[in-house]
């Protein structure tokens, strides 16, 4: 591609919405455009990139393996674009109420919207920004002084940070309904799971850390066949093909309910995890961070 052929951000957001909803029509409604206009944009994106991104079916639209990879990369671009806009907004909000948050992807997508809504209703002038990053990168944002409060997954608060457990989560093994493991009658043991090629998040993500820690207790390491940068891309890749993934139950609840994914039971493996609010020991929380944590305590 030449410099003049960059895909536009609106179309990348549209593709991400199709991956999340499994429907071009639903994605079009979310973006306030017609279904034909959405289809045209996605076809133009496929022509621009030179790959087939979607397989259109009577029941909706499914990502191809190439499409799953593109969605993972696209979400990195979209996250960076949001960071740019939020940074500029922060520059223009000096002297006004502000709360800068950073969260791992699972927390940002499935928990934070419900947590921050009461706070923004109580403080309508609050300039709230959110940086989405894996748990390791959340700590780096604190080191650069770019956030006030972070949310991470893992066994303990990172070094130099203090924290509070705000949610308990569980990882589960999921496959497509047609996968051979979906018909398995006995649970997977640690050795079997470790030898199974997985579609997984990158090293440094909270999800990957929990899986590695659980297998390490049995002297095992996971076998990762494909790394993708977003949970959405992993779910699409698994639902589309022969992959196996270990993901947060929060992230796959909808797909398990509608049958797009199947849960594979496991035994003798602790895949539970705590989700923590964290902040530097040397940095007191501002009043809005304290209010947010207090609201979580009452609703969690």
Q: What burial letters (b/e) apply to 78-113, b meaning 16+ CB within 10 Å?
A: bbeeebeebeeeeeeeeeeebbbbbbbbbbbbbbbe
Residue 74 CA to residue 45 CA, distance in Å, equals 12
More confident residue, 4 or 143: 143
36-40, 180-184, 246-250, 281-285: segment of lowest average pLDDT: 281-285
Residues 162 and 173 in one domain: no
Domain endpoint, select from 67, 88, 105: 67
Strongest mean pLDDT among 25-29, 152-156, 237-241, 262-266 = 262-266
What's the CA angle centered on 252, arms 262 and 298, to 5 degrees? 140
- Mean pLDDT over 241-264 rounds to 93
**Are residues 144 and 279 both part of a single domain?**
yes
183 plus 259 within the same structural domain: yes
Residue pair 213/171 in contact by the 8 Å Cβ criterion: no
Q: Which of 16, 38, 67 is the last residue of a domain?
A: 67
Q: Which domain holds residue 18?
A: 3-67
260 shares a domain with 281: no
Do 275 and 166 contact (CB within 8 A), yes or no?
Answer: yes
The answer to whether residue 28 scores a pLDDT higher than 90 is no
Task: Give phi and psi for 260, each to the nearest 5.
Answer: -75, -25
Select the more confidently predicted residue: 228 or 246. Answer: 246
Which pLDDT value is given to residue 263? 96
Q: For residues 97 and 129, state if they share a domain.
A: yes
139 and 83, same domain (yes or no): yes
| pLDDT of 210 over the 80 cut | yes
Domains of the chain: total: 3
Tell me the C-alpha distance between 11 and 83, whole Å.
Answer: 18
Helices (H), 50-104: 65-92
Can you tell me the distance from the alpha carbon of 263 to that of 100, in angstroms, rounded to the nearest whole number?
36
- The verdict on 53 and 99 lying in the same domain is no
**Contact indicator for 173, 188 with CB cutoff of 8 Å:** yes
| Reported confidence tier of residue 1, pLDDT bands at 50, 70, 90 | very low
Higher pLDDT, 202 or 176: 176
Q: Range with the lowest mean pLDDT among 78-87, 109-118, 142-151?
A: 78-87
pLDDT computed for residue 106 by the predictor: 81
Structure tokens at 175: 């496959």
pLDDT confidence of residue 86: 63
Residue tagged 């591609």 (tokens)? 1
Task: Clarify whether residues 86 and 157 are in a common domain.
Answer: yes
pLDDT number for residue 2: 45
Distance in angstroms (rounded) separating the CA atoms of residues 218 and 109: 32
Cα–Cα–Cα angle for 24, 109, 47, rounded to 5 degrees: 35
163/239 Cα distance (integer angstroms): 36
* 61 and 128 inside one domain: no
Residue 12 and residue 158 share a domain:
no
Residue (of 118, 73, 122, 84) closest to 233 by Cα position: 73
In this structure, are 268 and 281 located in the same domain? no
Domain boundary among 67, 82, 110: 67
Output the CA–CA distances (angstroms, integers) from residue 178 to 60, 182, 238, 240, 245, in the order listed: 18, 7, 11, 10, 14
What SS3 string covers 114-126? HHHHHHHHHCCCC
The domain spanning residue 136 has which CATH number? 3.40.190.10
CATH code for the domain of 175: 3.40.190.290
What per-residue confidence (pLDDT) applies to 140?
83
**Number of neighbouring beta carbons within 10 Å of residue 47:** 9
Cβ pair 277, 149 in contact under 8 A: yes
pLDDT at 52 over 90: yes
**Rounded to an integer, what distance in angstroms lies between the CA atom of residue 109 and that of residue 29?**
19
Judgement on whether residues 251 and 205 belong to the same structural domain of the protein: yes
């Amino acid at each position: 591609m030449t410099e003049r052929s960059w895909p536009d951000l609106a179309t990348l957001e549209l593709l991400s919405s199709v991956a999340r909803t499994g429907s071009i029509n639903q994605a079009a409604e979310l973006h306030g455009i017609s279904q034909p206009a959405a289809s045209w944009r996605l076809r133009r994106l496929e022509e621009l990139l030179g790959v087939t991104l979607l397989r259109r079916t009577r029941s909706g639209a499914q990502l191809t393996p190439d499409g799953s990879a593109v969605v993972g990369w696209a979400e990195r671009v979209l996250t960076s674009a949001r960071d740019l806009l939020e940074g500029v907004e922060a520059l223009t909000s000096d002297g006004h109420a502000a709360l800068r948050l950073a969260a791992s992807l699972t927390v940002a997508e499935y928990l934070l919207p419900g947590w921050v809504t009461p706070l923004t209703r109580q403080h309508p002038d609050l300039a709230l920004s959110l940086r989405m990053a894996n748990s390791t990168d959340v700590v780096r944002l604190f080191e650069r002084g770019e956030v006030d409060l972070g949310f991470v997954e893992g066994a303990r608060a990172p070094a130099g940070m203090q924290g509070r457990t705000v949610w308990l989560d569980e990882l589960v093994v999921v496959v497509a309904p047609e996968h051979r493991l979906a018909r398995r009658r006995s649970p997977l043991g640690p050795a079997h799971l470790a030898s199974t090629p997985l579609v997984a998040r990158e090293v440094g993500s909270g999800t990957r850390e929990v899986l590695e820690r659980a297998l390490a207790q049995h002297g095992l390491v996971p076998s990762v066949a494909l790394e993708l940068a977003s949970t959405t891309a992993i779910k699409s890749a698994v639902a589309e093909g022969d992959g196996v993934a270990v993901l947060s139950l929060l992230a796959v609840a909808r797909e398990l309910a509608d049958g797009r994914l199947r849960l594979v039971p496991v035994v003798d493996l602790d895949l539970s995890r705590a989700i923590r609010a964290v902040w530097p020991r040397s940095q007191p929380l501002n009043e809005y961070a304290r209010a947010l944590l207090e609201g979580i305590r009452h609703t969690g």
